[in-house]
Amino acid sequence: MAKRDYYEVLGVPKTATLDEIKKAYKKLAKQYHPDLNPDSKTAEDKFKEVNEAYETLSDENMRARYDQFGHNDPGSGGFGGGGGGFDAGQFGGFGDIFESFFGGGFGGQTAANPTGPARGSDLRVDISIAFEEAAKGLEREIKIVRMENCTSCNGSGAAPGTQAKRCPTCGGSGKVRMAQNTPFGQFQTVRTCNTCKGEGTIVERPCPTCSGSGRVRRERTLKVNIPAGVETGSRLRMSGEGESGHKGGPPGDLYIYISVLPHKFFKRQEDDVLYELSISITKAALGCEVEVPTLEGDAKLTIPEGTQSGTTFRMRGRGFPKLRGRGKGDQKVTVKVVVPTRLTEEQKQILAQLDHSLSVPQEEKKGFFNKVFK
Ligand SMILES: [Zn+2]
Ligand SMILES: [Zn+2]
């Protein structure tokens, strides 16, 4: 299947701002989240597609590169979920890709030295947390599987007590030069050495623990501190918790992508919590004091007399902590006045009496007719 355009995946124009991209991502991530679509392979695929598109378009550098090269970026491949083995780590993180590419290394030779130290691959974990957890922050244990340096051989791949030898074919450079005769003359080509697969060294007695690869797959449990105020699309980075580097290179990073699950009755808008409060027409007319649920338990809210449906009250400091900066958002309570249905005869009579004594001011009536019949 051909890869879809990232902008198309998120349904945003190429000129979209970061905010628009975030908004589109949040909506789609929620829609296709695996927790909300159990057993749906389609949703799972969509979720992955959406995340991948967001990953690229939310990062200024990666987006610029995507705009330039599309899916055929010659320097991509650093961000892998593993499985790529040694090669995946060759270019290291995004910063490295960027530099090595523009550093002029593009062409006949690989920019990074293939036999030298290379940074480990970055890893990615998706976790979902409850609405309240996003407000309070939490510590969560996560399980990851990553390639680590084999401790038996310290990553060399050679059996303990033995050493990897310099490759006799390429003399340790990992590359061989070949002269090729063509009708246009002789060409020199540089190829990866077949004997050592570009490693520059040969292991004669492979380490029994890692079968000579120098790396082993390990499951690790890590504690992650998720700060209060995160939202869907927030990305945490745990420095150095990615895969081990190659030949003494630094490890990659672990990225944790957060999805916040929807709440039964709260909604979120930036750092504010939105809540809809239903009250009766009598309470709206007479005013009342009500208990309103907030992120920190019930709190009193005074509804003044004569409150109209759709009025919003602000409960200061009852929202989400601001992820950057201090303070908290508010809780916005929007009143919905509920017109009663199924009245008893007695209630109907009381309302009828009330109707006699109430009259809508003439001014408002005029305004209404002007609007409608002009
Ligand atoms: Zn080993
Ligand atoms: Zn070699």
How close is the Cα of 196 to the center of ligand 1, in Å? 17
How close is the Cα of 113 to the center of ligand 1, in Å? 23
Q: Which tokens in the block code for residue 122?
A: 């970055």
How close is the Cα of 91 to the center of ligand 2, in Å? 20
b/e map 120-135, b = 16+ CB within 10 Å: bbbbbbbebbebebbb
User: CA dist 95 to 56, 111, 239, Å?
Assistant: 13, 14, 14
Least Cα distance to 198 among 119, 120, 122, 109 occurs for 109
How close is the Cα of 258 to the center of ligand 2, in Å? 44
Q: Which ligand is nearest to the CA of 166?
A: 2
Beta bridge partners of 257: 126, 235
How close is the Cα of 112 to the center of ligand 2, in Å? 17
How close is the Cα of 286 to the center of ligand 1, in Å? 78
How close is the Cα of 75 to the center of ligand 1, in Å? 30
H or E segment to which residue 202 belongs = strand 201-202
Q: Considering the chain, what is the average pLDDT of its residues?
A: 82
pTM: 0.58
Query: What is the CATH number assigned to the segment(s) 263-342?
Result: 2.60.260.20
Contact 310, 334 (CB under 8 A): yes
How close is the Cα of 201 to the center of ligand 2, in Å? 6
**Which portions of the chain are predicted below pLDDT 50?**
76-112, 374
How close is the Cα of 151 to the center of ligand 1, in Å? 6
List pLDDT tens digits, range 104-126: 222 233 334 556 778 999 999 99
Query: How would you classify the pairing of strands 272-280 and 331-338?
Result: parallel
- pLDDT at position 142: 94
Contact 342, 360 (CB under 8 A): no
- pLDDT at position 200: 87
Q: Which ligand is nearest to the CA of 208?
A: 1
- pLDDT at position 115: 64
Phi, psi of 245 (to 5 degrees): -75, 170
Residue spans of the domains in the chain: they are 263-342
How close is the Cα of 198 to the center of ligand 2, in Å? 6
Q: Give the integer Cα–Cα distance in Å for 29 and 46.
A: 9
Q: Which ligand is nearest to the CA of 157?
A: 1
List pLDDT tens digits, range 294-353: 999 999 999 999 999 999 999 999 999 998 878 999 999 999 999 998 899 999 999 999
Q: What spatial distance separates the first Cα and last Cα of the chain, rounded to whole Å?
A: 57
How close is the Cα of 166 to the center of ligand 2, in Å? 8
